[in-house]
């Protein structure tokens, strides 16, 4: 005669073996099918949410399979059962919080384009969710928060530079004086296009296609020249000179016509802008002037 405990353990294993593969099948086949249906129906947001959830689906089915197997298994220790119930609740609820945080960071990515902004949203949601989960599970938070407070002080002292860069990065994003895609020049001489502001450094790509890493704290305290502040168009100029005795009015007209002709041929010029001539000085053998026109961006200059 087969012992009842053996049959219960067998049923437990079978239930796990049946439920667990469903997550992989759903992720591989059904998730893509539902995404296509959402795409055809114009439900882009729901499609993105499903795409994010696909990486969590296998884990959720694993937890469900494990929990179902546990409910069937002949575990008689009441205290152990209570601990396992609580553990399943915390792990499953925390995975839901992480999923929600990932979705929110993706949704707000357009309004907060930099990675550091999305990460702040994500980790804030995770932190608040974790506190609520632990509180709901009956875990006392006072000793944990006290230990975190003491530990945070030690960490803050050890990571002064890292924290300074982190908060400087937040300040850079909130001030909106510098944004991704802007071409800037620092008072220390470095210049390039902002390609990313992360939690520690700001990455600048130079015209020669090299990348400069500038600590956020250095950038926030530097004198910054922005060539594209809220507008990509930028002025360009050419220094010229003509002989003494030249008809300066005629020189100005010819210079403007020449600039307009070149601007018409150049795709990156701002064709609606009228070139300007400024006479700037008298040299030994020439009268110098500067011809100013406008191009679409710093690279076209």
Cα–Cα distance for residue pair 44/31, rounded to 1 Å: 14
Residues 186/194, Cβ–Cβ less than 8 Å: no
Tell if the pTM clears 0.85, that is, is over it.
no
User: From first to last of its 301 residues, what are the pLDDT tens digits of the chain?
Assistant: 445 566 777 777 777 787 777 777 776 666 666 666 666 666 656 666 666 666 777 778 888 888 887 777 777 777 777 777 788 888 888 888 887 777 777 766 665 555 666 667 777 777 777 777 777 766 666 665 565 555 555 555 555 666 677 777 777 776 777 778 788 888 888 888 888 887 778 888 888 888 888 888 888 888 888 776 666 677 888 899 999 988 999 999 999 899 888 888 888 888 888 888 989 889 888 999 999 888 877 777 7
Cα–Cα distance for residue pair 157/151, rounded to 1 Å: 10
Instruction: State phi, psi for 184 to the nearest 5 degrees.
Output: -130, 160
Cα–Cα distance for residue pair 217/182, rounded to 1 Å: 18
């Amino acid at each position: 005669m087969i012992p009842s405990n053996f049959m219960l353990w067998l049923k437990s294993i079978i239930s796990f073996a049946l439920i667990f593969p469903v997550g992989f099948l759903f992720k591989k086949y059904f998730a893509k099918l539902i995404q296509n249906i959402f795409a055809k129906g114009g439900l882009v947001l729901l499609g993105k949410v499903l795409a994010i959830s696909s990486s969590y689906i296998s884990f959720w089915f694993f937890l469900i399979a494990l929990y179902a197997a546990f409910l069937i298994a002949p575990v008689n220790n009441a205290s152990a059962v209570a601990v396992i119930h609580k553990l399943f609740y915390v792990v499953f609820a925390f995975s839901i919080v992480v999923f929600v945080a990932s979705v929110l960071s993706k949704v707000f990515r357009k309004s907060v384009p930099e990675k550091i902004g999305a990460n702040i949203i994500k980790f804030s949601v995770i932190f608040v969710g974790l506190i609520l989960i632990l509180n709901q599970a009956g875990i006392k938070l006072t000793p944990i928060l006290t230990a975190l407070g003491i530990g945070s002080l030690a960490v803050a002292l050890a990571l002064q530079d890292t924290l300074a860069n982190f908060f400087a990065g937040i300040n850079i994003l909130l001030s909106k004086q510098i944004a991704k895609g802007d071409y800037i020049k620092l008072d220390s001489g470095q210049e390039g296009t902002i390609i990313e502001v992360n939690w520690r450094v700001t990455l600048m790509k130079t015209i020669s296609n090299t990348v400069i890493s500038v600590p956020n704290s250095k950038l926030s305290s530097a004198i910054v020249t922005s060539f594209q502040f809220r507008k990509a168009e930028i002025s360009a100029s050419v220094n010229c000179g003509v002989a003494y005795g030249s008809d300066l009015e005629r020189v100005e007209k010819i210079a403007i016509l020449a600039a307009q002709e070149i601007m018409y041929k150049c795709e990156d010029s701002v064709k609606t802008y009228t070139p300007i001539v400024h006479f700037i000085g008298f040299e030994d053998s020439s009268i110098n002037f500067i011809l100013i026109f406008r191009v679409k961006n710093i690279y076209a200059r």
